[in-house]
Chain A
């Protein structure tokens, strides 16, 4: 069964322990300076943003139909059956198409490295496979980040919104966006105010469909176009041959 994360912004106290746990899990440096950085980067996969007295977490959404996996020419990304979208650095050639394609702008790059890698939250795949929670969910003191079965978390999010409609905006961000993700956000402030792309803008269509519509035609296009080109070639050269043969005939007749 597919796992997911539910982030409830109303329960978040902005302690940033998830940031620290994430850094530790992924062997990234973490100190006060990094904690103060309010942008995601190659060394900060997740960030807790503060606006007034409200908080919002950002991390890879682990799309059900990830754009990064579909655009990668060498298939360095893939969606595991457990839910995480993972990255195989060995395959990567560094084209950065994943970065341009991701609607949530999640993949980040090691710009200073001489052998750079794409970096993003990979949802602790080793822990998940071993039946454990992600590092961020495990450490969260208030349960704002909750790990669990995708279906269960959707139900729980719906219940929470139903039970206190005054606390939450009536929507689960990530449920339908780009065909659904494995990270859900419920909050009382629009996620868009913290840099998340607007639902209306990214739509409910799985991203791979945009290019898939064209790509799926190619297997048919190749034989048809080859035949057309070959046909044109044959006709125009046949005409030449006939003309040459006719000229020969005329010459022969005159002789």
Chain B
């Protein structure tokens, strides 16, 4: 146990060191030095992964909040906080990623004063900004509870309906609009991925991945923090994931059917290989797995199925952002190692911040007591013991 912890810490430090080196290159030598992006490939890994995938991976927040507060699925209550935390961190890191990718990040605030309402990017930007604020307020109760501040919790509870409805509205808008970004490139994006249905597909995949990520992070944090795993919750999520995957698969099939591409996609070609990979990971494997009751009832099976789903939809979005443009451009784009290292650093930051939050904040409700107990006994960081004295009650 102790060795494992050290091992991961070393990995983390290596990733952070390389990431910081790349950050230095990015801001002191420019985008050309740090990336393999060119005039032909102006959007690379950072848009493909950090932005498109990042926002998708953070979709669990609005999915679970919607299920619990909109549809009263009480059984999922225990995963609301981790899902909101993941979403909040996800959006913060999305913004960090954007600061790397934007050529002139110091003018990012221009978005607020020079608005172009015709631009999909403008809409995405405004929604992300607003939704990150909503997530901040949805996350705040964790902090207030930690310091036993009852009054502000009450204030937030009062505006909770607004936060919930606003959050889901904003998520619907920008999750789908990320797909709309590509609608203006009919002559560039490969027909396997260019479709007028892109906004619907992006929204659908966000829901599937939101559910899968919730299973993933619950299992992962149970392992990492020795928590008790709430199997009924995971089973519930697994069932919902299976439905979401079928809906997504059906949408994809309908799309290819209506555009008469069913014959094309089964013919071997460069794009077809990547499409097959994506379809296998996102649909064939997890749907097959989850169709077995035995898998749907086992934590390991659910975990694996959710990992496949997440990898599958990441492949899907990278195909859209990168592979789908290669034929048009006429050559391949392979990210430079410094691009990978920035992305890895951002992912590592996500894991680390999630770990810290779980350790010091009452993210998992049934653990609230344990957290406070631990803080009492540990001679850890500056702990506000007088406040915590009441917090355990």
By a beta-carbon cutoff of 8 Å, the part of chain A in contact with chain B is 40-42, 67, 70-76, 91-97, 99-101, 103, 105, 108-109, 111-116, 197, 201-203, 207-208, 210-215, 218, 221-222, 225-226, 229-230, 232-233, 236-237, 239-240
* A-B pairs with beta carbons under 8 A, tally: 159
Q: Which residue of A lies closest to B107 (CB)?
A: A93
Known contacts A40-B39, A233-B70; 13 further A-B pairs (Cβ under 8 A): A71-B119, A72-B119, A73-B121, A75-B114, A75-B119, A94-B104, A94-B105, A95-B102, A105-B39, A229-B70, A229-B165, A236-B71, A237-B72
Contact A225 to B172, CB < 8 A, known contacts A94-B104, A113-B30? yes
Which chain A residues lie closer than 8 Å to B114 at the CB level? 74-76, 91
Q: Which residue of B lies closest to A114 (CB)?
A: B30
A92 touches B104 (CB 8 A): yes
Which residues of chain B from 164 to 188 have any CB-CB distance to chain A below 8 Å in the complex?
A: 164-165, 168-169, 172-173, 177, 180-181, 183-188
B118 touches A215 (CB 8 A): yes
Which chain B residues lie closer than 8 Å to A202 at the CB level? 186-187
- What are 30 pairs between A and B in contact, CB < 8 Å? A40-B39, A70-B184, A71-B120, A71-B121, A72-B121, A75-B116, A92-B104, A93-B105, A93-B108, A93-B111, A94-B102, A95-B103, A99-B39, A103-B188, A105-B40, A111-B30, A111-B37, A113-B30, A114-B30, A116-B30, A203-B186, A210-B184, A211-B118, A214-B120, A215-B118, A215-B180, A218-B123, A225-B169, A229-B165, A232-B70
Which chain A residues lie closer than 8 Å to B43 at the CB level? 96, 100
Tell me which of B103, B107, B111 has the highest count of chain A C-beta atoms within 10 A of its own C-beta: B103
Q: How far, in angstroms, from A236 to B120 measured CA to CA in the complex?
A: 33
Which residues of chain B from 92 to 143 have any CB-CB distance to chain A below 8 Å in the complex?
A: 101-105, 107-108, 110-111, 114-123, 125
Q: Which residue of A lies closest to B126 (CB)?
A: A73
A73 touches B33 (CB 8 A): no
Which chain A residues lie closer than 8 Å to B225 at the CB level? none
Q: Which residue of A lies closest to B125 (CB)?
A: A73
Contact A215 to B39, CB < 8 A, known contacts A100-B185, A109-B103, A203-B186? no
Cβ-defined partner of A233 (8 Å) among B69, B104, B108, B117: B69
B39 touches A109 (CB 8 A): yes
Which chain B residues lie closer than 8 Å to A76 at the CB level? 114
A190 → chain B, closest Cβ, in Å?
16
A73 touches B116 (CB 8 A): yes
Q: Is B226 an interface residue when CB atoms closer than 8 A count as contact?
A: no
A75 touches B42 (CB 8 A): no
Q: Is B31 an interface residue when CB atoms closer than 8 A count as contact?
A: yes
Q: Is B199 an interface residue when CB atoms closer than 8 A count as contact?
A: yes
Q: Is B392 an interface residue when CB atoms closer than 8 A count as contact?
A: no
B188 touches A100 (CB 8 A): yes
Which chain B residues lie closer than 8 Å to A225 at the CB level? 169, 172
Q: How far, in angstroms, from A227 to B185 measured CA to CA in the complex?
A: 33
A201 touches B187 (CB 8 A): yes
Which residues of chain B from 34 to 66 have any CB-CB distance to chain A below 8 Å in the complex?
A: 37-40, 42-43
Q: Which residue of B lies closest to A106 (CB)?
A: B39
Which chain A residues lie closer than 8 Å to B300 at the CB level? none
Which chain B residues lie closer than 8 Å to A232 at the CB level? 70-71
A74 touches B111 (CB 8 A): yes
B104 touches A111 (CB 8 A): no
Q: How far, in angstroms, from A133 to B327 measured CA to CA in the complex?
A: 38
Q: Which residue of B lies closest to A223 (CB)?
A: B169
Which residues of chain B from 1 to 55 have any CB-CB distance to chain A below 8 Å in the complex?
A: 27-33, 37-40, 42-43
Q: Is B232 an interface residue when CB atoms closer than 8 A count as contact?
A: no
Cβ-defined partner of A94 (8 Å) among B103, B120, B183: B103
Which chain A residues lie closer than 8 Å to B101 at the CB level? 95
Which chain B residues lie closer than 8 Å to A233 at the CB level? 69-70, 161, 164-165
Q: How far, in angstroms, from A214 to B32 measured CA to CA in the complex?
A: 34
Which chain B residues lie closer than 8 Å to A230 at the CB level? 161, 165
Q: How far, in angstroms, from A113 to B122 measured CA to CA in the complex?
A: 25
B41 → chain A, closest Cβ, in Å?
9
B69 touches A41 (CB 8 A): no
The 6 closest A-B pairs by CB, nearest first: A94-B103, A111-B32, A75-B116, A99-B42, A94-B104, A73-B122
Cβ-defined partner of B115 (8 Å) among A75, A93, A95, A222: A75
A72 touches B116 (CB 8 A): yes
Q: How far, in angstroms, from A97 to B123 measured CA to CA in the complex?
A: 13
Which chain A residues lie closer than 8 Å to B161 at the CB level? 230, 233
A213 → chain B, closest Cβ, in Å?
8
Which chain B residues lie closer than 8 Å to A92 at the CB level? 103-104, 107, 110
B115 touches A116 (CB 8 A): no
A71 touches B184 (CB 8 A): yes
Which chain B residues lie closer than 8 Å to A70 at the CB level? 116, 118-119, 184
Q: How far, in angstroms, from A216 to B363 measured CA to CA in the complex?
A: 40
Tell me which of B72, B115, B186, B187 has the highest count of chain A C-beta atoms within 10 A of its own C-beta: B187
A229 touches B104 (CB 8 A): no
A67 touches B105 (CB 8 A): no
Which residues of chain B from 247 to 305 have any CB-CB distance to chain A below 8 Å in the complex?
A: none
Q: Which residue of A lies closest to B198 (CB)?
A: A214
Which chain A residues lie closer than 8 Å to B28 at the CB level? 114
B63-103 Cβ-contact flags toward A at 8 Å (1 or 0): 00000011110000000000000000000000000000111
A236 touches B187 (CB 8 A): no
Contact A226 to B102, CB < 8 A, known contacts A111-B38, A203-B186? no
Contact A101 to B70, CB < 8 A, known contacts A111-B30, A116-B31? no
B163 → chain A, closest Cβ, in Å?
11
